[in-house]
Amino acid sequence: MEMLTEYVVLVVVAICLAIGFVVKNSLDIIQNKYIPLIMAVLGVLLNVWLNTGAFTPEILLGGLASGLASTGAFELIKNTRKDVE
């Protein structure tokens, strides 16, 4: 787990967290079980974009880790604050 922390990109986590919040609370047609998948794909796309279109295994792993970390961050906030749904 410690190895993955060096690949997390905070900008990607923040963007995915915000978009994931909007998807969860605004788009009822998307089931909650698909949100981590959407955030992982979005994280990869954002990380590729931030690295000027380069695509390496490190960029792929960084995007996946960042997108999924945003899902974990949302769950952490949700469990800490009961008023966030």
Whole-angstrom distance, CA of residue 59 vs CA of residue 44? 7
Q: What's the pLDDT band for 75 if we cut at 50, 70, 90?
A: confident
Which bin fits 84, alpha (ψ -120 to 50), beta or left (φ > 0)? beta
- pLDDT at residue number 83: 63
Rounded Cα–Cα distance for residues 85 and 11 (Å): 23
pLDDT in tens, 4-61: 677 888 999 999 999 999 999 898 898 989 999 999 999 999 999 999 888 999 999 9
The CA distance from 18 to 6, in Å, is 22
How far is 61 from 8, CA to CA, in rounded Å?
9
pTM for this one?
A: 0.85
CA distance readout (Å), 16 to 44, 47, 66: 10, 11, 8
